[in-house]
Structure formats: structure tokens, C-alpha cells
Chain A
């Protein structure tokens, strides 16, 4: 065979093989596209989790569980099933989230529950960079995808994982008090080393040692009790009045309150 004929034969063969590969890829394509969409959603949720952790946990809690008096839970059944009807939103939940996050809330729709972190408007700041916030549109879409992904937990379709933390002995009042401390969202504002990192209110390390001589005439136990049920009675120097929610007495039972005080008294 002459070289030119060899090249024609080989070339034709290569073209056929190339075409065959492209055809096979074409047949696999619908499946690949489908899988890619699933993976893309997964990565969007991961990205949203990062956005949430960096911007929202101070009010909505590290797990999105909400902080009493500050911001609502974004992972309970109420939010997923009744909230839209409550505010009269016409569209879907994901769009509602995008809309609320984009613009923020000047005043709460439930001012008796969420007076806001500073007691002043806005209760939730604007997030979109279009209105002077820090987030781009794609970040807001991602965080909305992340919040939507709480649905299986919120509706109880999947049992919620027990939150990780130091092992507490719930047979003692101090142990139960520690659980209350986390459950009431005190962690969002107060730091206790090894337990929480909130930085809105004072650090509570060493509280038990200073509580007895803060307000004349109040024992350590009485001072702590008063700080929780009536925070404005005494304002810790350097902090503003009205930041700490005023309604914890209504949110807790008498036992819980006592356990909480017992726990705080261990912070030497």
C-alpha cells in the first residue's frame, strides 16, 4: 500500500473511532446532566452552610435553632408548614427566604417575640449588597438552599442528631442548667470558655466569684437570678440597656431557672 492510501485508511478509522466516542458520550449525557444538577445542589448547600456560619449564627443560633428573644428558629415545623400562611406570602418558601434575607427586616412581624438584638430597628439587617449589605446574590441563593435543607429535620422525617458538646450529667441541677443555658440560646450572646463563644454580652467566666459583690445587698445567687429575669435592673458597665431579652422568666419554668442559676454558680 502506498503511504497516502495507508493514511486514508487509518484516518478514516480514527474518524470513526472518534465519532463512536462522541456518540457514547452523547448517550451518557442525560444521566450526567442529571447527576451534575444533584451535585451542584449539594455544593450550593455546602456553600450556603459557610455563608450561614459566617453571618447568621449570632442571631439564629449555631444550628439554626434560633435564640430566644433575638431571632426565630429556621429549622422547626412551624417555619416549614405555617409561616408562609402567617405572613400571607404567595410564593414558595425558598423565595420567601431569599426575599427576607435580601432586604432584611426593619421591624419584626412579631415584635413581642423578637425585639431584636439591640432593641432597635432593624431587627434583621439587610444582607444584599444591592442595598448596602455584605452578600452577593449567589450567596443569598446558597444560604436559602441551605435553610431549605433543614426540612427533613424540621418535619421529623429524619431523627435529629444529638448536638455535640461536653458530656453533661443531667442528674445534677448544674448539669441540667447547662442544657438550659444552651437550649435558651444564652450561648449566642455569652462566652464561657470551652462551651460557647457569643460576644454580645459579658463573658461569664468567673461570674460566680464576682456576682456576690456586684450589687450591694444581693448575694451571688440573687444577683444572677435577677440578671436573668430582670436584666435591666442592673446594667453591666460597658453594655447597653435592653439588649438582653426581658422575657426569659416567661420562657422557662421555675425549675429550669433554678437549675440555670445553679449552673452559673459553678463558673468560678
Chain B
């Protein structure tokens, strides 16, 4: 019986067992590593040369699918840190991080307007490490946008888009668009005021297009206003369409780099006369296994460490404002900061610029003719629908516009200056795109909004509850209350962890009232708020809720009519005092 089993399973005699088991394990290892033996693995770890011939480390690249996407080696100089700054690598890193965190978030998220916000709240309040996960996904998204822009700048300044790599550049520009659209579609999903209005304003740009404009707008929003249809559309694009497109395009982009052209050599190596010794060193092969791979594993560890450390030390928090409310447009609708430059472009009105330039000339020469372009040129259409696509085309055309064969910075001063100029232009446009720039808000509204923006914190909401509790006061602007509004008050801001810290009076409330008074009185002096009559009312509404009302009355300088603006804020004792 036993003998027949031994025969059947081909079991060798006892003295050969050790060897046989060794071979069995080695075979398994070779299968798992696509060709590396245990001995080879050990040599790799030690930094020893290959143990067999032909080099089994190259074999991995032909046998393994994942490894076949990678190059066998790069020339040493192409891997210099100063050359690539690892920017393309980190863009990919964050993309993968987004996929992983995104899949987990998908488990909890519900893409319907009446449940989306609640499901995000549940992720924050009811899912183990849910806030961490959401923050990581949001931080990763911003990082991916930043790194793809930086990566673009680096390939521009090293002239790597030239010659055979112009197609790589083209796929890169498409990836930039995909990244932008990924982040934009994701922005809507929390379904809070921030998301809803940023996306409403963003999609409204298409409306101004001729003929197909309204249809395009309808297609994107799924209805005249963003609702169930729009949210579902954005969700599916965000979790299926765009990631798949991104994977496809990244593969093409990277294939060009890894299998066809390699990473460009730094221009100094390629184009200048170098000491032959140095040149040899610079073009020496750096193999994927083990050098590139171990370096990349190290970069992954570094990237994870930095991301987690930022979240650990609370350097980043995803915003979550109040539930989206289609009936109430916030005063400042905020696009995500990396789209401010676009919002800045939209604030430029070409028609009035031309009018202001040309009409004074007509006047100088005594002509009565005046150019009136505003009727002909729709600024939203030009700046929103014509300029951005034109900029994208320009970006794509760079390799074909720039015919200068050299990649050396000093031989392409024009291209470098042009690049630096664009960085400035984008920064200025971004500044113009900030919600406050170029938008006139009535003085009283602006002053109250600055104290307590409709969304987010602001100094008024950061007044600690004890300073307001049972205060029951109307503080009149212009009256002298001394240096502190609450004589006799003292409280322990943090009795648990700092039992000895005591605050005397109400410094925060006082500060807020003083700022409020100072800005109103300034506005009264410079004529924006004549007949000013203002107060800050603090009332107790419930046992643990106070009601704070900044209240301003004035006479409108142009119409002479009495005006009132006030805003009521409710502050609960247990409200979060830091952005979570």
C-alpha cells in the first residue's frame, strides 16, 4: 500500500528529501518572482552581481506582465534626481493611492442627492478611520493635480518634449485634462454647499456656447439644475469612466517612456562635450532589478510616510459644509484653488478692455464715434469657452511650435523666459480668481461676512462658548465698553487637559466686537455707511445655544433710503472649534 503511494507520488528515497524539498521551494519561488531563484534574491538584496547566465533579472521583464511595462534599464544620468525630481513617479503614486482609498470610500458613499451628504457624514462619524480615509483621498487628489503640473513644468524646462517625445507630451496634456476632470467630478460628490455651487457655476460656462451650449449644459447636469441625474452622472464618471481613461492614457504615456524612448538624458550629457570618463559613468546602465525597483519602493515608503504624517499632525482636513441648498446661492462661491486661474480668466471682460483702450483715442481726435463691443462680444462665451480650449491647444502644440533642436537651457532663452512668464500669468490669474477679487459686495454685508462667512469658521464662530453664555446683551457700536466686554467673567477653556489655564474676561468676543466696530466706523467715515446705527446682539436661545446677531442700519448714500442688513448665527456649546 505505502509502496504504491510512494511510486504514485514519485517520492524519492529518504536521503534525497532535503535536496528535493529545496528544489520544490525554489521552483515555487521562481514561479512567484517570474524567474528569480532564492540564491538570486539573496544576491539582489546584497547588491551582488547576477548568479546565473543569461541574467535572470532581465528574464523577469519578459515573463511578468506587470514587469514588462517597465524598462530593463535607464542610462544613469536619466535617473539623476535633479533631472526628473521624481515628479512623474509621484503623480503615478498619488493616482494609485486615489484608486485604493477611492474603492474603500465607494463602499460607503451613496450617490443620490437626499443621501449623499448623509453618507459622507456617516463616513466621518461612523466608519473606523473614515475621516482619515476621506482626508487621504482629498489630499491625494490635490497632490496629484499639483504633481502633474510640476511634472509638466519639469519636462518643459528640460526640453524633454522635443523630437521623438512630442507624442509623449501630447498624451501628457490629455492626462492633465483627465486629472482636472477627475478632481472636478469628485468635488461634487459630498453634496454640500461648497460642492454644489462650485460645480453649478463651473458647468454654467457651457451654457453660453452657441447652438449646442444649452444642450451641452443639459448633458452635463442631467437637468436644467444639478439634481439626481447630474450627481449620478458625475459619480459614474468619477469612479468608472475617468479612472479607466486615466489608466489607459497613463499606460500609453508610460509605454513611450519606458519601452520606446527611455527617459531623456539631461541636456548637458547629451549635447555638451564631457570628460569621457564622466560621460561613461553618466550613460552606464542602471538596471530595473534591483536598483530602480528598490529606489521606487523607497519612494513609495517616503510618499506614504509624508502623506500619513500630514494627516497625523492635522495639517490637512477635508471641508464639509452644510447640505447643498439650490435655493440659496452663497455669497462667495469657491472653485477649488487649482481652478482659480480659470475663474480669474472669467473675470476678464475683453469687450470693455478694448472699449476702454480705443474710445479715449476717438475722443482725443475729436471723433464722436464710440466702439460698443459689449453687445457683440459675450464675455462669458469668449473667456469661458474660447480661451481655455485655445490654451489647451497651445499647450499641445508646444513641441511643434518650438523648432529649436537644442535642449540646453542657455541655448533656448526664449522658451525658458516664455515658461517663466506663464508661471507668473497663472499666478496672477489665480489671484484674480480668488472669490474676493473684483466682486463688489456692499460694505455692511462684506464686514459681517468677514466676521462669520456663511460657510467655514471665521472669528465670530471661534468665540469660545463660555464668553457668550447667558450674556444677554446688545453691544452698541460707538459706545465705550472699556477694554473688555465681560468684566467679572473668567473661565477654564480646557479643564480636562489644561486644568490650570484660565481666561479672564472675554478676549475673543471683545476682539470680534472691536473689529466689527472699527470696520463699520471706517466705512461710515469714508461715506459708504452714512447714518450708521449698528449693534452686536448676544442672546441665549436654549440651554446650550446662543444666538448672535450683528445688525447694521444705515442710509443709502445714493437713494437716501434706510437700509438694514443683519445675519443671525447660532452657536451650540458642543460645536467643533477646529475644522474637522
Interface set of A (CB-CB < 8 Å, partner B): 2-5, 7-8, 10-12, 14-15, 17-18, 21-22, 24-26, 29, 32-33, 36-43, 45-47, 49-50, 53, 63, 134, 136-139, 146, 149-150, 152-153, 157-158, 161-164
For residue B121, which residues in chain A have a CB less than 8 angstroms away from its CB?
Answer: 40
The reply to whether B125 and A18 form a contact with Cβ atoms under 8 Å apart is no
Question: Size of chain B's interface in residues, with CB distance under 8 A?
Answer: 52
Q: List 23 A-B contacts (CB under 8 A).
A: A8-B298, A12-B301, A14-B302, A14-B304, A21-B312, A22-B132, A22-B308, A25-B311, A33-B125, A33-B128, A36-B124, A40-B125, A41-B574, A42-B574, A43-B575, A45-B545, A50-B568, A137-B114, A149-B544, A152-B542, A157-B543, A162-B472, A164-B472
Stretch at the interface among B257-265, B287-295, B513-521: B287-295
- Chain A CB within 10 Å, residue with most, of B132, B305, B470, B542: B542
For residue A26, which residues in chain B have a CB less than 8 angstroms away from its CB?
Answer: 128-129
User: Is B131's beta carbon under 8 Å from chain A?
Assistant: yes
Closest 10 CB pairs of A and B: A161-B540, A42-B572, A42-B574, A49-B570, A152-B543, A7-B298, A11-B301, A14-B301, A158-B543, A11-B298
Alpha-carbon distance A7/B291, docked complex (angstroms): 10
The reply to whether A138 and B118 form a contact with Cβ atoms under 8 Å apart is yes
A133 to chain B, nearest CB (A): 13
Nearest-neighbor residue (CB-CB) of B44 within chain A = A4
- Interchain CB contact (< 8 A) of B301 among A3, A18, A39, A158: A18
For residue B114, which residues in chain A have a CB less than 8 angstroms away from its CB?
Answer: 136-138
Alpha-carbon distance A138/B304, docked complex (angstroms): 37
A-B contact count (CB 8 A): 130
The reply to whether A29 and B128 form a contact with Cβ atoms under 8 Å apart is yes
B9 to chain A, nearest CB (A): 40
Alpha-carbon distance A115/B580, docked complex (angstroms): 47
B315 to chain A, nearest CB (A): 13
In the complex with contacts A46-B570, A49-B547, A49-B570, A153-B542 CB distance below 8 A: yes
Alpha-carbon distance A2/B291, docked complex (angstroms): 11
In the complex with contacts A149-B545, A161-B470, A43-B576 CB distance below 8 A: yes
For residue A41, which residues in chain B have a CB less than 8 angstroms away from its CB?
Answer: 574
In the complex with contacts A5-B47, A21-B312, A149-B545, A36-B294 CB distance below 8 A: no
Given A18-B301, A25-B311, A41-B574, 10 other A-B residues pairs in contact with their CB atoms under 8 A: A4-B47, A21-B309, A21-B312, A26-B128, A36-B125, A39-B575, A45-B542, A46-B571, A158-B543, A164-B474
For residue A163, which residues in chain B have a CB less than 8 angstroms away from its CB?
Answer: 539
- Interchain CB contact (< 8 A) of A138 among B117, B474, B576: B117
For residue B126, which residues in chain A have a CB less than 8 angstroms away from its CB?
Answer: 33
Alpha-carbon distance A149/B568, docked complex (angstroms): 18
- Interchain CB contact (< 8 A) of B570 among A50, A63, A153: A50
For residue A40, which residues in chain B have a CB less than 8 angstroms away from its CB?
Answer: 121, 124-125
- Interchain CB contact (< 8 A) of B291 among A4, A10, A25: A4
For residue A42, which residues in chain B have a CB less than 8 angstroms away from its CB?
Answer: 572-576
Mark B273-311 against chain A: 1 for CB-CB distance below 8 A, else 0. Answer: 000000000000000001100110110011011001101
For residue A47, which residues in chain B have a CB less than 8 angstroms away from its CB?
Answer: 322
User: Is B541's beta carbon under 8 Å from chain A?
Assistant: yes
The reply to whether A4 and B545 form a contact with Cβ atoms under 8 Å apart is no
Nearest-neighbor residue (CB-CB) of A147 within chain B = B542
User: Is B523's beta carbon under 8 Å from chain A?
Assistant: no
The reply to whether B125 and A4 form a contact with Cβ atoms under 8 Å apart is no
Alpha-carbon distance A39/B131, docked complex (angstroms): 14
Chain B residues 35 to 86 lying within 8 A of chain A, measured CB to CB, are 45, 47
B384 to chain A, nearest CB (A): 31
- Chain A CB within 10 Å, residue with most, of B128, B131, B305: B305
For residue B382, which residues in chain A have a CB less than 8 angstroms away from its CB?
Answer: none
The reply to whether B301 and A32 form a contact with Cβ atoms under 8 Å apart is no
User: Is B537's beta carbon under 8 Å from chain A?
Assistant: yes
For residue A137, which residues in chain B have a CB less than 8 angstroms away from its CB?
Answer: 114
- Interchain CB contact (< 8 A) of B308 among A18, A39, A138, A164: A18
Nearest-neighbor residue (CB-CB) of B325 within chain A = A136
Nearest-neighbor residue (CB-CB) of B544 within chain A = A149
For residue B568, which residues in chain A have a CB less than 8 angstroms away from its CB?
Answer: 50, 53
